[in-house]
Structure 1
């Protein structure tokens, strides 16, 4: 209130300098009407009082009023309405003397000439003064600091004169009118301030929005555009035109779709997204983030467009207003991410996710049309040896070569992908031709098995393939993959290098394996496993030298389970270390009870030897049982040397340092590398039973191999043990060749612990020592 009245400066949020300029603007606009009201009022006063008042005083008063009014109006008109944006408090306060002077002059008729002889003159006088005070309240209401003093002086002067002539009620009415006009004038000033404040806020907002839009168009990758009812460009930002490669001065009026289609406009070949955009424009539908291909010269870009229809106040459609942004790089990045998510980075083939999606789609199509699809799983044979011997970089390059070969085998109905590691998969969308599937599977095996030249290495690997048909072998993609996986296991179990189709019994075997694995985990704890002991004899004399501890498993429900079935399962499930430790401790404890110092041989898996703590386990087993280290012989196979970067050789050396004997088992069936014998101090070599049986039938190659092994062992100071001797002829044959030890059914089957103890008791110390 005090700021509006001009009584004080204020630091409020309202911009009072601009408000005061608005007050002065309002006073300027009504300055001439105010002058006209003043002139009319003076004329009416002079006409009313001239019969009763001397002419000279009346004329002097009239001239004074007109001069003061003219001076005030000139000062109002002197305010620059167009250029003055702000006004000071002093500018507003300068209106007060004018108003007071004018108010005093207008109070003269009431005070000096108010006592008139007739009621008619009095009525005309007070009517004229009421007109003048009301006009002043209206014309100067925007400036309460000027209008209120004028209203107060005239009002109270009139009331005083009315009291003087004995009209108190009329005087009271004059005071009430004065108060009402003062309130009205002040209210008009408040209304002007509020209106101007709102106008200023709207103007500021419009200016801010305009600046933001201008900055948006200049710096952003988004562009504004408008089209009319005929879908022609009505207004487009310069950046919009330049992004289309068009002249900003000629783009307006061009068909909107023509501008977007570019060179394709004349041919009439439009992308489906442009047809969608045209349909939305025809339907006058708002849309948001609609992807549209835009041809700019020879390059295709992608824009995202959003727009809303425009209507006037009567609801008449005027066109569209929208925004567009270039999202080409974003789409390229998304496409790259999509590719990385669905393609293998090493080979460029579809990865597991993509293969699963393709298989699910093929299954859905086969179910829809009543046809068949197929899924092949491919596992590389002997690839692990390449990784272990030559390193992973060579293995990765080998996988790339394999991928290139497999891609060239695929037709339009097949998709090849890499599942991970050395596993690949093929999705066959149309598997109606069974012969074609078999030819493809065999072609995969033959192609992969051809030699490779990688980093000056000639590499030989193979492939095993498992095949499953959908929906016959699985109603879902997951079931079909499992069926193909089971068929692949069958191919691998058969030695690799072959393909096998899924058969229902494979699922039965897999379920049996699952049940067997579950039972195997509890077998040792529940005492279902036990050891048998097969005699090892002197091949020349037949005297007992010791026993080989053999693991046996009798399940209460499934009965006797052969080692050939549960030992590989224990190795795959990583149960073999725990089982092997139990075998070692049990065999050592049993041998320590024997009356004679017979040796005990225990088979050790590669998983046990690759544990750095295994030597400590052997030492603990010897210490806890009290068995002499020289009576323990550990049998290992060549597989322990195939993994590089492990501690197997160091573990063997620590075991030898304990005084334990080492035997190389199944020599001749694997790589048979002489380097193993040169770097590890083996005490004996065991010749596989297959060579023994072949040699007994007169096979020259087998006889030659056994002779070579025996000669090699003799030269290195090692004993040789012939396994699987089952007949007297075989016994004589291994004697003749020069084997130092023998074992097999001819000398005795694996014995229960009690019979083994009895055999040791009935065998003399001298015989065992021999």
Structure 2
């Protein structure tokens, strides 16, 4: 297979231009295909006739004349036999058919002349009339028709003139009428055949164009989803011994935002540029296809080591991560890739696609802009998610879902300012299920909206008994964010809770915000109009595009915990990056919360970087609602003690 030529298909525009624009060579070749069986079939009666007439020649004519007639008849029969053998091949050209027809017709003409020479009688002129008909039947070209009929007519009139005025007068009308009739019939017949050939060629071209359009993406020129899965199906059905392949699914991170901000025309051009980069970076034996939207597929039919596959995945991600120059703008998106191996990860198209899609999901959820290879770990996760999805549907979620709360601390005032609500599930069937498993299962099963509503009610019930100055942070999934009905219900729940909307902060990840830019912004504006606050969670783990951030109604930005981890790896670099982010938040007029702070040294470092709000184990691990109340009581008691 070949990403550039494996399909054998041309771009639709090329095929469209070809329809109806048939070259002379093409038409002659098709005419040759049509006439080859006609001319070859004609040779058989010629062979039989000129073989059979040899014997009667010796009974009806003197020996010298019989020898002359039989010699030419035999030569004609042998020549016709040889020509028939030559025409057994299907690749006979127009020129060869014209030459063969001319040779055989000339031999028949010579036989007619030989008979007339030996027996110069007007009755023998009838053979030339038959020659008109034979020429009309077997001559492939108009020039051969005209030449053959003209030669026969001239010979016939010359012989009739030699036989006398009466014979000339009689045969003039007969010969001229025969010549014109034969010529006209032959030209009309060939015109009809030519039209039929042309119509068939045009129909073939149209069919080819339809096949190309059915197998090719009109925008990028790449093979489309249908062709990609056909290739997978052929590979699976063949199931050759030792066959190995990798399926890669590529999805662009941030493409929807480009479409929403700059319009579909720019988005389409970006997809074209992406396809060109994929053609350049993927090996020659890869099948590259656009599966739809901003999703692409790669089929690598060659053995690849883990290192080789990792190299390919990183090359794809790095290539797509470079800025694109489109319509005078510099656009930046990233690409995530999920790989599955055939036959290790599946022996059917459905199994392979499902596992590649899961690897892609993991790449987008945890390692955006990178490649993830499906492994046994993910196989176990898929089974867990599948089982969890089933149990979720049958569970009493009101009773089994609960929350833990982790404090967010103001280190300038030395007091907690909010709690983040963290979802937990104690399943009656499965026991404790980690959030990264049951949230994924809820998203994939369509239950996430119900889960979010239950958890938000419980979070607001806990916050209702806290002091008014203590806020609540609640996480929304990407599914919630792009659903207008879900956001409307969440707004209703906040309004009915008795908790002031200004105390409630909804935390959203960059992935969720970029999944559908316009819907995400509309949802955020709906929440903000209610009085709720919006926080961008895990800043720095994904796109972190400043060009998009200012378009959202944000009140807080929470840094990804990896920035704090980096302080331990390279304190100078980590400190500089963290300080730059804090300064960015100050310039944007939003609060910055540093996550992942676990030690006193880290507190001192992030304080030196300019941070004010911190969240992490140093100030408190996730705790129950009752423990959160006790925590607040202890903090308030401590403040009273300091004040006294």
Establish whether TM, by shorter chain, passes 0.5: yes
Counterpart Cα distance in 1 of 2:546 and 2:229: 46
Counterpart Cα distance in 1 of 2:141 and 2:231: 35
Tell me the equivalent position of 2:451.
579
- 1:626 partnered with 2:498: yes
Tell me the equivalent position of 2:629.
757
CA pair 328-396 structure 1, distance change in 2 beyond 3 A: same
Question: Structure 1 or 2: larger helix share?
Answer: 2
Counterpart Cα distance in 2 of 1:633 and 1:347: 42
2:94 to 248, 260, 263: 263
Bigger shift: residues 715-724 or 580-589: 715-724
1:377 to 248, 256, 265: 248
- 1:512 partnered with 2:384: yes
Deviation digits for residues 252-278 of structure 1 (CA, Å, limit 9, x no counterpart):
x99997999661645999xxxxxxxxx
Give ranges in structure 2 of 5+ residues lacking alignment. Answer: 1-33, 46-79, 101-138, 143-191
Structure 1 residue 752: Cα displacement: 1.2
Counterpart Cα distance in 1 of 2:587 and 2:336: 41
Tell me the equivalent position of 1:343.
216
Q: CA RMSD in A?
A: 4.9
Higher relative CO (CA 8 A, sep ≥ 6), structure 1 or 2? 2
Which runs of structure 2 are paired with 1:211-610 in the superposition (5 Å)?
231=42, 263=94, 265=96, 326=197, 327-367=200-240, 370-382=241-253, 384=255, 385-407=257-279, 414-427=286-299, 431=303, 452-459=324-331, 463-468=335-340, 470-471=342-343, 473-486=345-358, 488=360, 495=367, 503-522=375-394, 525=397, 527-571=399-443, 574-594=446-466, 598-610=470-482
Structure 1 residue 539: Cα displacement: 1.5
Tell me the equivalent position of 2:614.
742
Q: Secondary structure at the match of 1:347?
A: coil
CA contact (8 A) 2:247 2:352 kept: no
CA pair 358-739 structure 1, distance change in 2 beyond 3 A: closer
Counterpart Cα distance in 1 of 2:458 and 2:430: 24
CA pair 468-664 structure 1, distance change in 2 beyond 3 A: closer
Deviation digits for residues 723-743 of structure 1 (CA, Å, limit 9, x no counterpart):
333223333444555544333
Counterpart Cα distance in 2 of 1:590 and 1:642: 31
Deviation digits for residues 203-230 of structure 1 (CA, Å, limit 9, x no counterpart):
xxxxxxxxxxxxxxxxxxxx99x98996
Structure 1 residue 587: Cα displacement: 1.5
CA contact (8 A) 1:523 1:529 kept: no
Give ranges in structure 1 of 5+ residues lacking alignment. Answer: 1-222, 235-252, 270-293, 298-322
Structure 1 residue 531: Cα displacement: 0.9
Counterpart Cα distance in 2 of 1:448 and 1:295: 59
Counterpart Cα distance in 2 of 1:438 and 1:600: 42
Counterpart Cα distance in 1 of 2:335 and 2:321: 7
Deviation digits for residues 486-507 of structure 1 (CA, Å, limit 9, x no counterpart):
5555665663666565545543
Counterpart Cα distance in 2 of 1:710 and 1:228: 89
Structure 1 residue 656: Cα displacement: 4.1
CA contact (8 A) 1:375 1:480 kept: no
CA pair 693-456 structure 1, distance change in 2 beyond 3 A: same
Deviation digits for residues 595-616 of structure 1 (CA, Å, limit 9, x no counterpart):
7763322233454344445665
1:691 to 555, 560, 563: 563
Q: Secondary structure at the match of 2:404?
A: strand
Structure 1 residue 561: Cα displacement: 2.6
Q: Secondary structure at the match of 1:339?
A: helix
CA pair 708-524 structure 1, distance change in 2 beyond 3 A: farther
Q: Secondary structure at the match of 2:464?
A: helix
Deviation digits for residues 517-566 of structure 1 (CA, Å, limit 9, x no counterpart):
33344556363210112233332343343422211122334433332343
Aligned length: 478
Counterpart Cα distance in 1 of 2:309 and 2:96: 47
Task: State which structure, 1 or 2, has the greater radius of gyration over its C-alpha atoms.
Answer: 1
Structure 1 residue 680: Cα displacement: 6.1
CA pair 528-435 structure 1, distance change in 2 beyond 3 A: closer
Counterpart Cα distance in 1 of 2:554 and 2:289: 46
Deviation digits for residues 682-730 of structure 1 (CA, Å, limit 9, x no counterpart):
5544444333454477723433444455556567765543333322333
Tell me the equivalent position of 1:291.
none
CA pair 755-443 structure 1, distance change in 2 beyond 3 A: closer
Q: Secondary structure at the match of 2:399?
A: coil
Q: Secondary structure at the match of 2:233?
A: helix
The TM-score, its normalising length taken from structure 2, stands at: 0.60
CA pair 343-268 structure 1, distance change in 2 beyond 3 A: farther
CA contact (8 A) 1:595 1:761 kept: no
- 1:727 partnered with 2:599: yes
Counterpart Cα distance in 1 of 2:572 and 2:318: 32
The TM-score, its normalising length taken from structure 1, stands at: 0.51
CA contact (8 A) 2:575 2:605 kept: no
Which runs of structure 2 are paired with 1:79-94 in the superposition (5 Å)?
none
Q: Secondary structure at the match of 1:593?
A: coil
Counterpart Cα distance in 1 of 2:309 and 2:560: 40
Q: Secondary structure at the match of 1:553?
A: strand
